[in-house]
């Protein structure tokens, strides 16, 4: 207690310190005026210290956490996009296989061209400008020796400019290169005449360019602004003629590939109305197919009449296909007398082809159409996982077409199409052969409908060429049948009316005989009317076979749509 009192004494005085006398509220002599509440200036701001040490630490933590979670979100988003891109590319690779020796970008370009060509967006048509760009990019990478064009050389000088020699490449590489060239040629057919405005880097359709070569330009389609000038324009893509001639002159392609390119080129010339060169290309293609089997006992066809020679044996698949296309071309040009014997000889040859036995019918069809993949030897979970994550194998090469085909469902659909062509020609050739032409048309319709019922459903889902041919043949056959019968019924009705008017003005005895003739005409008219009802019933019955009612893809947000 004594020590505590000593602490409060002043130094040198011995007096106690009165602590209450040191209060700031009491000592007003140190300030100008007392700080009373009613004398202070009112203000809305309070003197608060916002950025305290604890607040700084909290802000640092929040900023670091925000950056961290933002990075996690971006990483997750990029991962999802990468996974989605990989899944899409894997699906396209299984649908449109590409050679494995190509680089990933080249394979992606080829898959993109095929997808844009065969699978346009729902509700839209094929964007051939995009398709041509994809295939053009693919070919540029295949021609570049620093990317995928190693050992690709320029063809001899007698070939068209830009032709490459691909004999040093593998079969898979050459097959993929041929696919890219054919896709580019088909897209160039739709983009024929499109120009590129170099000043604006915009592609315009043909006929809208302003210049001396086009004095009457067409109006611009919707979406285009400002017509291009001729001095600023150049053709955007190569012409189809140039591309097809390159394919036909490329060293390293097989005869079947050149035959396919020749038929496509001749069809393009026929579409453009250039009948003379189209006929020459068709004939050269047929000669190429006929020269593939030199060891035959006789010439496979007569080059004067282009009719198959039965003494040479069964014709090859290439020869049948090329000769059918050439005969159809001759019929379209009006040369019916030359086309009919060719088609009859082809139909006779197809009907003499060997039929596959019941044990190998399915395997032969699958091998010919390349629609059913080979079944795996084991279906264990491990093998399924390995198959899921392993790249799909590139399909084996198709048959070369030098051997005779078998009489499978695809060949039967071809027979139906031949019967349909023969019926059309015979119906239009002369009035006396109309009945026979109508019979050929009925036979074609029956055969096509029968094959559509026999083909498996899984082939239809994969858009098999045999089912597609039968569908086209059935639709065309029903239309031709209805038109033929309607014309015959109309002619019989006109003759009946003319006969009734003629006999009505004669005597009653002559009228009696005219009535008997009129009864015969009524019977003929009733016959065609009854056949028209039969055709209507057949059309109603075949509607399900002809219509392809596949719902369009609705996407990931389909649950939000009505």
Q: What stretches of 205-293 adopt beta strand conformation (E)?
A: 233-235
- CA dist., res. 141 & res. 237, Å (int): 16
Nearest to 463 by CA among 453, 455, 475: 455
Q: What are the structure tokens assigned to 441, written together?
A: 């048309």
The whole-number pLDDT of residue 365 equals 43
The whole-number pLDDT of residue 492 equals 82
With beta carbons less than 8 A apart as the criterion, state whether 220 and 207 touch: no
Q: Give the pLDDT confidence of 493-547 residue by residue, as tens digits.
A: 888 777 776 665 554 444 444 444 444 445 555 788 888 888 998 888 888 777 7
Least confident of 92-96, 115-119, 302-306, 367-371: 367-371
- CA dist., res. 474 & res. 541, Å (int): 12
Distance from first CA to last CA of the chain, Å, rounded?
Answer: 93
- CA dist., res. 447 & res. 413, Å (int): 7
Least confident of 61-75, 437-451, 455-469: 455-469
- CA dist., res. 248 & res. 364, Å (int): 30
The whole-number pLDDT of residue 512 equals 44
DSSP 3-state of 22: helix
DSSP 326-352: HHHHHHHTT-HHHHHHHHHHHHHHHHT
- CA dist., res. 326 & res. 304, Å (int): 14
Q: Give the pLDDT confidence of 17-47 residue by residue, as tens digits.
A: 444 444 444 454 545 556 666 666 666 666 6
DSSP state of 67: H
The whole-number pLDDT of residue 555 equals 52
- CA dist., res. 444 & res. 433, Å (int): 17
DSSP 3-state of 196: strand
Q: What are the structure tokens assigned to 315, written together?
A: 């014709």
Q: Give the pLDDT confidence of 299-344 residue by residue, as tens digits.
A: 899 888 999 998 988 999 999 999 999 999 999 998 999 999 999 9
- Banded pLDDT at 191 (limits 50, 70, 90): very high
Choice between 130 and 370, residue whose per-residue pLDDT is larger: 130
């Amino acid at each position: 207690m004594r020590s505590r009192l000593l602490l409060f004494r002043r130094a040198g005085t011995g007096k106690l310190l009165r602590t209450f006398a040191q209060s700031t509220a009491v000592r007003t002599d140190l300030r100008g005026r007392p700080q009373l509440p009613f004398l202070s200036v009112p203000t809305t701001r309070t003197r608060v210290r916002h950025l305290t040490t604890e607040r700084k630490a909290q802000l640092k933590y929040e900023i670091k956490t925000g950056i961290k979670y933002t990075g996690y979100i971006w990483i997750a988003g990029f991962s999802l996009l990468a996974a989605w891109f990989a899944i899409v590319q894997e699906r396209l690779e299984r649908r449109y296989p590409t050679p494995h020796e190509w680089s990933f970008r080249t394979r992606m370009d080829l898959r993109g061209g095929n997808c844009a060509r065969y699978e346009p967006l729902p509700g839209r048509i094929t964007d051939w400008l995009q398709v041509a760009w994809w295939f053009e990019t693919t070919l540029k990478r295949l021609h570049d020796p620093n990317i995928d064009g190693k050992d690709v050389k320029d063809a001899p000088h007698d070939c068209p400019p830009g032709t490459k020699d691909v004999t040093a490449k593998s079969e898979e590489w050459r097959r993929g290169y041929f696919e890219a060239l054919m896709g580019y040629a088909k897209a160039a057919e739709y983009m024929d005449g499109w120009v590129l405005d170099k000043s604006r880097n915009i592609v315009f359709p043909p006929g809208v360019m302003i210049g001396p070569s086009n004095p009457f330009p067409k109006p611009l389609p919707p979406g285009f602004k400002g017509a291009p000038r001729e001095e600023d324009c150049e053709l955007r893509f190569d012409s189809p003629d140039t591309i097809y001639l390159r394919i036909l002159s490329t060293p390293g392609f097989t005869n079947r590939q050149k035959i396919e390119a020749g038929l496509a080129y001749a069809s393009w010339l026929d579409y453009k109305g250039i009948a003379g060169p189209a006929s020459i290309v068709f004939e050269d293609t047929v000669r190429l197919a006929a020269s593939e089997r030199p060891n035959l006992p006789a010439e496979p066809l007569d080059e004067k009449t282009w009719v198959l020679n039965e003494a040479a044996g069964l014709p090859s698949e290439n020869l049948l296909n090329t000769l059918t296309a050439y005969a159809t071309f001759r019929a379209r040009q009006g040369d019916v007398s030359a086309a009919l014997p060719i088609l009859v000889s082809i139909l006779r040859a197809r009907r003499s082809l060997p039929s596959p036995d019941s044990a190998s019918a399915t395997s032969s069809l699958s091998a010919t159409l390349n629609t059913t993949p080979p079944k795996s030897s084991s279906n264990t979970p491990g093998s399924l996982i390995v198959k899921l994550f392993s790249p799909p194998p590139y399909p084996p090469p198709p048959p070369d077409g030098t051997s005779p085909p078998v009489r499978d469902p695809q060949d039967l659909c071809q027979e139906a199409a031949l019967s349909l062509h023969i019926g059309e020609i015979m119906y239009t050739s002369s009035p006396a052969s109309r009945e026979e032409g109508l019979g050929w048309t009925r036979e074609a319709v029956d055969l096509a409908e029968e094959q559509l019922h026999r083909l498996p459903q899984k082939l239809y889902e994969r858009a098999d060429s045999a089912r597609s041919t039968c569908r086209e043949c059935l639709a065309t056959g029903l239309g031709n049948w209805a038109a033929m019968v309607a014309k015959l019924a109309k002619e019989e009705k006109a003759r009946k009316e003319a006969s009734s008017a003629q006999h009505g003005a004669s005597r009653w005895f002559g009228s009696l005989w005219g009535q008997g003739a009129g009864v015969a005409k009524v019977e003929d008219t009733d016959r065609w009317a009854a056949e028209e009802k039969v055709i209507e019933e057949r059309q109603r019955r075949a509607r399900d076979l002809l219509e392809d009612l596949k719902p369009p893809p609705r996407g990931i947000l389909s649950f939000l749509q009505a």
